[in-house]
Structure 1
Amino acid sequence: MTTEARNTPERNALNDLSRYVARQILRMEGIAKSGMETLTDNFIDSFEWQAEHIFKANIKLEFFVEVNKLLCDEECNEEAVKFYLRHTAEHKTDDVMHTDPYGHSSNGASNLAHRWRYEANKDIIHLALNLLDRITPDAE
């Protein structure tokens, strides 16, 4: 591939997106790591204030890692990324629309995790749409 072929506006947009996603991965990993260290130092007090933040950061981290895998693929193009982000937004929207936000388990921790996952899915919808907008800000 020539230098000119690698410097197309499409490729530049994907490279910018890749750098942004890499920063978000580092950010989510940092949140999880510092939160876990805080939990280790003072579990009782920290669990009340940090557990939700750590849980949601890990859910978002999974999303960003998947986007990063796609962006790192040599065959990746703008259409593939747009398809993935639209599909993710639609899938998570279906999850939010058709899922009860409150768990119905006899296990309180499971119900709490269910609620946090529900809320994280709403965040991922926004993240996917924002990433999509970074690729084609005027078209979408």
Structure 2
Amino acid sequence: MRSIEIDDEVFAFLQSRSEPLVDTPNDVLRRLFLKDANRPAETPEDRRPGDLMPFITAGLLKAGDKLIHVQPRRGLTHEATVTSDGWLEIEDGREFPKPSPALKAQTGVDINGYGKYVLKENPGVRLQDLREQLRGEA
């Protein structure tokens, strides 16, 4: 087996398309590039639902909703769009099944996406608030 080096951005991309504790980076590359691999190439229609899917099902979010995180000292505002399958698409087009890895890709640091993302249309509502509401309904 050969070794290759990849940068952090490529590794984050591979992680965003992997199933945690199941896929290796090689599995993801094989799935993306070799159509005849054990697992078929993942398309938006057949990928697993993201962590925000229960929010969509409960009517707390809908596809196309925007989430933002503001970094006032750096003068930055990061935006993510909720997809129809509960993933988050960030400004550069990458998609993530979970809020925290999406926000890490935007800020460059580990950060709680649930605690820091807020609804663009209602900045007083954090994603964490919606999660607590969802848990209260269960």
TM-score bin, normalised by smaller chain:
under 0.3
Instruction: Considering fraction of residues, name the structure with more strand.
Output: 2
Greater RCO between the two (CA within 8 Å, min separation 6)? 1
Greater radius of gyration (CA): 1
More helix per residue: 1 or 2?
A: 1
What is the TM-score when the length of structure 1 is the normalising length? Answer: 0.26
